[in-house]
Every structure is written in C-alpha cells, then in structure tokens.
Chain A
C-alpha cells in the first residue's frame, strides 16, 4: 500500500526508536519546527535506550476504571463488625479530623454491608454475591484491600489516580507508559481509551484523565467512540471514496516532496508518514470496532451482540486492542457513585461490569495472553462505612482512607488477598497501598523502575510517582 518510490527509509518511517503513537506513527514533536526537537528528544532517547530497566512480566496494561468510587464494603472487603453497629453512631475515634465530602455536618452512623460475601475458588477469597463471575476467577486475581488516596472529590481523585497528582497538566499513566515503551502497533495509537454508556446517572469524566500533560502530544490517550466515527474525522467527507482519498493523499505527498526539494525540512517526511498512518487507521479502526466475526460463544461470554457502547462491548474491544499490540488500554465505567440507593445502584453497576470483566480475564487466559497482560480493576476511591441518607434510599459517601482494587495477569499472583482495613472498613491499617504504590507496581511489571522513568519539565526530572516515597508491592507479584 505504501509507495516505496518515495525513498523514505524505514527509519524515517518508524522513527528512531519504537516509541509511541508512536513509533510507527512517527509522530514527531517539535517546539519550533525541528528547532526544539532537542527538548523532547534527550529524555526520550534515554528512555528508549534504557527501557525496560529489567525483565518485564507484562507487555501491556488494561485498566478497567470503575469511576465514581465503587464500595469496597459491598464488593471485596467483608466487615461483619459493621453490621453489628448498623445505624449506631460511628465511633468518633475513626472520623475525628478526617476529611468528609457530602456528609459534612451530618450525624455519622454506621451502615451494615448490604450484600453477602462468599468464599470463592481454591484460594477461598471473600467476594460479594454481587460479583458471581469475578468470583469464578478468584484464583486468577490479587485483591488489594488496603488502597488509599488523598483526594475526596471525584475530579481531583481521578486526576490523582491517573497522573499521580491532583494538579492539572501532568501526564497520565498511559502517556508515561507509551512514552517509556512505545507501541507495538503499526496502525493504532499506543494508548486508547474507551468509555462505556450505561447506568443511572454516570459521572462526567474529563479528557485530562488521559492527557499527555507536558509529555509530547503523541503520547496522549486517544478516545475511541462506539457511536459515530470511532475516532474523530475518521470517515472521508461525503462523496469521497477510498480510492479518491488515496489519490488525494498521494497528491499531498507528491506536492510536499516537490516543495521539500527546496525547503528540505525533516518535518515534511514526518507529515507524509502521518498521512499514511491516518489512511491506514481509516481501515484498521473500523475493522477493529467490528465484532461481527467474533464467534458467538465469545460474544455471549462478554454479553454483547453488537457495537452498543456497553462495558461488555468495550471489554471485547480491549481484548482486540491487546491482540493488536496497543500498550495501554483504559476502560471507564462511570456509574459507581452510590450516595443514595446503594443496593439498587450496585446491582446495576455490578450487572454491567461483573460478567465482562471476568470474561476478559478468561478470554485472555484462553488465548495465552493473560500472562503478559496486566489487568487493573478499581476506581478513584471507596465508600464510607457511614450511611448517607439521600434520595429515596440510603447510600454511602466518598471515602479515601481505605478501599479495594484487584489486579490480574502479567506477573500478578492469583488467589491472594493483600492488606486490610480496620474492623469497620474505614482505614487501611495492614500493608497500606497508596495510589503511587499502585503506579510503582504497575510500572514494575512492565520492567520499569518508577524512579527512573523521568521527563525534564520546568527544570525538574518529573515522574509519575512524584517525590513522595513509593513502593512496589512485591507481595502480590509472582
């Protein structure tokens, strides 16, 4: 398809290293034509040369982002003691001086777990009845019950989970990873985001959550949409056929080359390569999104029949993206904010997410891909052990001192539960895992020392895990 008379070398086409949206895309970043390539290049070259820092156990990440703050107390953290104190005052020793969100000025009362827990798998992990499918993969997942974060409102908490800080303008984890490792795909971006529809009143989610921040723009997450064009402006203008598009891109290339005989600007070669990538995406992306050829049993496992924008459809796409070498795949499901009607809302959310999440793990496992794919499941924070009376039925408020997530595949030990909150599920007291520890662990599985994945910005060697100490949670690694 690519016209070789062009004389573009493979190197010019692929870039100097296997970076990014990449490498193959050869998206070049400059700050003044070529003039400031230097600014972007040194760190980039350094990373490319030294990475991975050690043997990775995962090649890619699929982050199933349960946005809104799923209740650990209804999913993974069984607290019988909380049931015994149901609707009695929350002991002040837990809550004194702690930040509070919507329960500001309210009387704080305990709220019993609303669902039963069961032992699951050989490992006997305790998982809620809301998650029958995830219970079936209990031996493949490591549950972390001691997560904690610093931000109690959604927007800054998302930003912290994605970028390591609540300040706007920093790169997201997917950007850091594609910056460090590049993409393995020739015709797709290295970092792709899928956001599902479905639920009662889903939370907004900002594009800041997958922005490249101060990293070069080619490392930004590219959102794929299940309605309309999957990627903005992917379809030709009306009336323009694929052949005519080809002729037009050839004309752009030929005219650019004539001009470049005089101007000899390396950016022109890059631009030509970008147009080729765009043209390839016009085929590869619709092909990716089309699940018609997936076998029936696979579609049934994910619970989808068509491109419906559901979490199930996106999980199936995640597998297809993983197969195509995409480095960081992030799925958002946005309805976990259960201030009120927690019983009903958790049923809806679990109904949307439980089956497809488990299907993804099982499907990857069946294809031998779970071993080198890290899966992370969880949200920006958990929920209070205290009740919130709002709306027609009670719920729980935002909670940051202790909550749960799980990980699987890519070097993660299956069938383990790590860390613990106190008897009321308030504070992570045993082996606490901060968001930045999660980041350090994720990078570790990819063969990256989190202290050495850096980028010079405003005179500082910035990194995802920031300046506070962060640790790799070795206990959940194989």
Chain B
C-alpha cells in the first residue's frame, strides 16, 4: 500500500515534458502549496487574524524567509529542519509534521529559486499549447483523436504507458447511454450500432443521444444534487414546498442546450432581467431551494441569518468550487476569503423576499411565498402544440377537435405552484462576530465579491444580476474550470482535480492542469456550449478506451489518474431504478412533470410530524417514472435512493459517495418495485424471448447486460431456472404470490409456475454486479 502510494506520488509529481532522469522542476502551486497549505497556512496563511509572526506563506510575501537558490541560508528551511524542538516548524502542538520527502521538495524548490505563484484556481485560465503527438510510438486506432487525447497522451508518454484499446462497441454504447441518458440501450439499438460500419457511426450516435429528451433528465440528476433540489423544507416538520417546475426548467435548459452563462444568470437573477419570462422566474426558484423552517419558537432573525449563510455556501460550492462557507465565523484559514467577503456575498441575496420563521399552519404542502401558479416550461410546450393543432383543424373534424380539446383540458390541469425570487428592499447585512446572529455591532456591508478577486465595477449597489454576470465573465478563474472538471468526473468517475467541491488550497492539484485550462477556455470560447463540450469529451479516444486494467496498470496507476483506461463505477441510484423499469418495459417515457411517489415501506414516515404523514404511493403510470422525478423528502429520503447513496440534498453534493452495503443488496433482492419489474420482465421473456429455454436465457441476458451470455453463464442461469421451477412447481401458491406483486395485471394465458421461475431469473439478472456497473 505504502509502496503503491509512493510510486503514485512520484509520478504524479513529474511535470510535463521532463525526462525521468533529470531533476524535475519543482512548481510552487503543484508541489509546494499543498504542503504549506496543509502544514503551515493555519498560522501563516491568508487569515490575518490568526497569523503568527506576521508571516504569510501563501503569497510572495513569504519570500522574505527565503534566499533564492540557497536553502541553507533560508530561514524557512532552517525552521523546518532545526533540531531545536522549540523552534522547529510546524510546532508540536499543531499535531502536524513535515515528512522527509516534503522537506526535500521544499529544499529543491528553494534551490531552484523559490518562486511563488497565485493559486491555480485564483488566476484566469491560460490557453496552453496542445502537446504534439510523439511520432515514435505506434498506437492502435486513431490516437490521439482530439486535443484531449494529446494532453492525456503526453502524460502517458512520460511514464511509457500506452492507452488501452477502444472498448468493444457494445460496451462503449452501453457506457455512452448511461453517461448521456442514464438509461441502458435496447439490444436492437446495440445491434444496429455494432453493425453500423460507417466511419462516423460513433459521432452519429453521440449526436442522436445529445438530441434525446432523456439527456436533460440525466444532466438534471447531477445539477439537482449541486443546487440541493428537494421537495420538502428539510427542517423539523419537513413539509412539502412547491418547486417541481424548477426541475422541468433545468431539464429543458439542458435539452435546449441553453448556454451555461445564461443558465447561471437566469437561476441567480432571472427576476432582475428586463421583462423576465415565466421560465426565467421559474429559474429563480434556485434561490429558494434551501432548507427552511416553521418550527414553533423559531426566531425570524436567527433563521434569516441561517438562510443567508446557506446561500453563500451553496453559491460558492456550485459555481466557484469554493468553501466560502468556512468564512462565516472567521477568515478562511487556507484560502484568501475573508469573513467580510462572506457577508458581502450574503448581501447580494439580501433582497430576496422571504421570512426567517415561516408561519404555520402545520400543513403540507406548506406555503412559502412568493410562489406563482404556472405550467412548467415542458408542459407549456405541450399545451401550445395542442393549441396549434386545434387551430389548424378543419371545422368538420369534430371528433378530432373534441379529442384535442379534452387533451388540452388535461394538460392545463398540470398547472402547479412554484417558489420564485422576488426582489424587495434589501435587508441590512452586517458581519456577524463568530457568526452570532444576535450580534448587532458588526460592520455593515454592501454586496461585493471576494476582495482579492476582480471587482464588479459599479458605483451603486451591485445586484444578483451583477454577481451572475461576474461569474460568467470570460476571465473568471473558477466558473468554467469548476464546471468542466465536474463534467470530466461524470464521464470518467473522477475529476481532473478530484476535490470537486474544493478548488482552493486544500483541494487537489489537478492531474492535468493544462488540459483543465484548455477545456475551460474552449468551453467559454464556444459560448458556454454544454453539448459541444460533452461531445468533445465523449468522442475523445481517452473516453472510448476499455475499462479493464492490466496488472501493470493496476500497479502503476491504481486510481486511474493517468487515464490509460476508462474508469468503472457503480451506477447512481436513479439509473439502477430506471434500468429495471426500462428492461421490464414499465418505464413511462414522458419527460418532466410533478414529483411522484413510488412504493416505499409502510410506516417509513412514522416519525415525521406537524402534520403527521401517511405516504400514499402513486397509482397507475406514475408508479413507473424515472428516479429523477421521485419525491425528495429531505429527512426521509426514499430508502431505495438512500441505499444507493443519493444525497438528502440538504447541502451541495458535487460527488456522491459509492458505498457497497447489505442494505443495497436487500433493496435489489426484495424491494417490491424490483420484484414487480422482474415479473413483468419475465412476461416479456416468455412472450418475446423465443420458444426454448436457451433462446430465452440468451434474450433475457441481452436485455439486461447488452451482450450475449457465455456458455458457462447461460448454464448457470439454466441451473437457477431449474431450481426456481422446481421450487414453484412444488408450491404453486408461492408462485401465484410472486407473480402478483405490484399493480400490473398478471398476463393471461401464461403458466404461473413458469412465470414465477422466470421472475426469479429476472430478479437475479437485475442483481448482477455487471448490471449495476458502468464499465
């Protein structure tokens, strides 16, 4: 383990272009800043109030304890190497120590001149040269395909590692479907793609998926984690609040390929745009997504302070990858955000019309004005198309007219309430000493961005609109990088900097900083074109590699930070649900809509109150909607989603953990929703899978795993089928029970014992590791 880590550290530290033999150049940001940040900044960092000996080491002010080129004469080096325990840094009571390797790096850095740099995410990205491909090497396929590959390859070349071959077409297609749509392909789709010999077959597939309405659902899944979208208020009684049209807005924005700068502006400040459209108002629901309370005895002022801090934390995390929340009570210890910066950002949001402690009654849904009653952007599209159809009908098309009018009336019923942002006279915001809301003596502040960054040029009070525009100005050092890094994570399982939530000093130095900058600059230059960026990422050879790891690679790069292969990871919760629904044929294809309630265990809400809650699962087709539409109860998230690591969305989640627990196994084995999918899938197997057992096994396997079974696999399934058949033949009553799970009517003319046996087979297929893994 330790050996493996060392190997990794050494070669990640190898800079681009260096030969392994020569002494590599030490770079402050990449090599030294992380050490100083972790071990020294607490007392010698950006926070002036806790600074010791008036020394800061996060900027070139630190040069005063360094003699360039002469470690032996540098105070810094003397203090970290002295044997005098009283003088040795870091001091013992800090609990921190420098390792020998770290001291040696610092020595070499001083030796090479000891130059400081601004932290990478605080300086605007610079367009790097795209590395030239190394002509010496012969690579299979078309490496590099695009500039991403050139950057990746340059690093691989340094380590003498070759990229992996391209994944086989079926696996690649399955990967692409999950990554772009969150759904598996059908076997027919796989077959068509495998047979498509046109040179641009893959690019065509990418284009097709990017135009699918399901793309928006997949992207929304991630965005909703970031902005902490949920259907309930979160605190205490955790009542429902009205917000689902916002989800439709997000979905549609991704599907319409709304430029990311506009997407940003509309959410933060759509209400401040001239004559805002309904959709722009719906977008401002973003500012209302935080947790709120109407617990009896909650103080208005206290909760306004809590909401204010919540917004700063989320805003910083979503757009800047910044942990500004740390500066609520004191200056940030590692990054140059001051406590005053925290409250200056809070002041941007001080005009939002809201209460601290909302008044009861204890009803759900609760009221969180201002709210508007709207058709969501997606519903409105449908309504308008029906209206158009009606207008175009000839007068004698009586029946058709009646049908369309009925449809229209149905669609119009979809109108629902949604919280929006309304600007009112801004509340005064002052710096709260140690975050204490009772403090009334702190300095009053005006809206402003962190003082070490480029300022908004405005004489009068800056607004949320100014803030949003500042974020999306081309030279902003964080917005594009942070977004691009997160997209990389979606398609590779890791960010280029893996600390997706923290691009600051304590975050991880990117493995490929030039690539990150190049992508960020391309993204901005494209007009913040998200689909174009996605296409760039998924058409690269880097993306298209196999995910298998060789022994050599496993040793050399166990965490796949060089990208000599694709990553593999367990699917997110929603996709696991969606897959079973698609394969069984139960999935409802409609995009957008209100939140829905799938089956969940009885009594799960027993410990909610104000008011008491009884969960009533939706009936009919709403039972079979994608996971992204599941009612998100913050304090009692649906147990299936919870078991597969979906977050409660109380705070920003940039990266979901991936656990592997018995609770998840119990969901897949026993949750009635999966049991129902299994039996409906079994019906399909019997009807569509051919006439003999072998054909059916093969057919079923392909539906779930997008490939054909090996003989051994087919034999194991056959054995299970026989066991299951024997069990149910001996106990037909048990068979009848199993094939009646859920609300779907049992198919006529199907042998119950046979159906039950295949249901059990289907259940096992849904539980396979391969079915749950994006390869």
Contact = CB atoms under 8 A, between A and B. Distances in A.
Interface stretch (B196-204, B346-354, B522-530, B649-657): B649-657
Interface stretch (B18-26, B262-270, B397-405, B599-607): B599-607
Given A36-B498, A233-B667, A275-B665, A153 B297 contact: yes
Interface in B295-312: 295-299, 302, 306
Contacts of A397: 297
A200 B490 CA distance: 48
A442 to B, nearest CB: 21
B767 A451 contact: no
A344 interface: no
A115 B295 CA distance: 29
A43 interface: no
A353 B270 CA distance: 53
Nearest to A461: B95
A204 to B, nearest CB: 4
B459 interface: no
Given A33-B569, A208-B648, A397-B297, A240 B666 contact: no
B359 interface: no
Given A28-B660, A247-B724, A237 B506 contact: no
Given A204-B607, A259-B769, A29 B504 contact: no
B392 to A, nearest CB: 50
Interface string B690-726: 0000000000000000000010110011011001100
Interface stretch (A77-85, A223-231, A358-366, A369-377): A223-231
Contact of A252 (B291, B293, B756, B768): B768
B46 to A, nearest CB: 13
B609 A203 contact: yes
Nearest to A159: B235
A249 B768 CA distance: 10
A235 interface: yes
A1 interface: no
A379 B153 CA distance: 59
B716 A255 contact: yes
Interface string A134-172: 000000000000000000111110000000000111000
Given A36-B559, A169-B651, A153 B662 contact: no
Contacts of B645: 217
Contacts of B724: 244, 247-248
Given A216-B657, A334-B607, A397-B297, A458 B494 contact: no
B389 interface: no
A295 interface: no
Interface in A185-230: 195, 197, 201-208, 211, 216-218, 222, 225, 227-229
Interface stretch (A262-270, A300-308, A310-318, A431-439): A262-270
Given A154-B236, A275-B665, A458 B738 contact: no
A35 B495 CA distance: 11
A239 B738 contact: yes
B123 interface: no
Interface string A64-100: 0000000000000000000000000000000001011
B42 to A, nearest CB: 10
A398 B298 CA distance: 11
Interface residues of A, number: 98
Contact of B37 (A39, A97, A258, A459): A459
A232 B635 contact: no
A216 B659 contact: yes
A241 B297 CA distance: 52
A190 to B, nearest CB: 12
Contact of A29 (B606, B657, B712): B657
A100 B296 CA distance: 11
Contacts of A238: 675, 734, 737-738, 740-741
B716 A27 contact: no
Contacts of A35: 493-494, 558-560, 567, 569
A259 B768 CA distance: 10
B567 A244 contact: no
Contact of B650 (A28, A169, A202, A256): A169
Contacts of B657: 29, 31, 216-217
A25 B735 contact: no
Interface in B729-766: 731, 733-741, 756, 760, 763-764
Given A211-B648, A251-B764, A30 B569 contact: yes
Interface string B553-585: 000001110000001111000000000000000
Interface in A1-56: 21, 25, 27-39, 45
B213 interface: no
Nearest to B658: A30
A278 interface: yes
Contacts of A39: 498
Interface in B488-544: 492-494, 498-499, 501-502, 504-507
A154 B670 contact: no
Contacts of B728: 239
B735 A239 contact: yes
B323 A459 contact: yes
Nearest to A259: B770
Contacts of A37: 559
Contact of B760 (A102, A244, A258): A244
A251 B736 contact: no
A459 B494 contact: no
A473 interface: no
Given A240-B734, A259-B768, A281 B635 contact: no
A125 B203 CA distance: 79
Contacts of B739: 239
Contacts of A21: 661-662
Contacts of A268: 769
A248 B764 contact: yes
A169 B501 CA distance: 14
B672 interface: yes
A217 B669 contact: no
B263 to A, nearest CB: 25
Most chain-A CB neighbours within 10 Å: which of B38, B767, B775?
Answer: B767
Most chain-A CB neighbours within 10 Å: which of B1, B549, B607, B741?
Answer: B607
Contacts of B297: 101-102, 104, 152-153, 397-398
Contacts of B636: 206-207
Contacts of B569: 30, 32-33, 35
Contacts of B775: 263
B216 interface: no
A445 to B, nearest CB: 22
A149 B658 CA distance: 34
The 9 closest A-B pairs by CB, nearest first: A459-B506, A101-B297, A32-B493, A239-B738, A217-B659, A206-B635, A239-B737, A168-B650, A239-B734
Interface of A: 21, 25, 27-39, 45, 97, 99-102, 104, 152-156, 167-169, 195, 197, 201-208, 211, 216-218, 222, 225, 227-229, 231-241, 243-245, 247-249, 251-252, 254-256, 258-260, 262-265, 267-268, 270-271, 274-275, 277-278, 281-282, 332, 334, 339, 397-398, 451-452, 458-460
Interface of B: 1, 5, 37-38, 95, 234-238, 291, 293, 295-299, 302, 306, 323, 326, 334, 438, 492-494, 498-499, 501-502, 504-507, 548-549, 558-560, 567-570, 601-604, 606-610, 634-637, 639, 642-643, 645, 648, 650-651, 655, 657-667, 669-672, 675, 710, 712-713, 716-717, 719-720, 723-724, 727-728, 731, 733-741, 756, 760, 763-764, 767-770, 773, 775
Given A204-B610, A239-B736, 16 more contacts: A31-B498, A32-B494, A35-B493, A104-B299, A153-B298, A168-B234, A204-B238, A208-B635, A228-B602, A231-B666, A232-B639, A235-B670, A236-B670, A239-B731, A259-B713, A398-B297
14 contacts: A36-B494, A38-B5, A168-B291, A204-B237, A232-B643, A232-B667, A233-B666, A233-B670, A234-B666, A237-B741, A239-B731, A239-B733, A251-B717, A459-B506
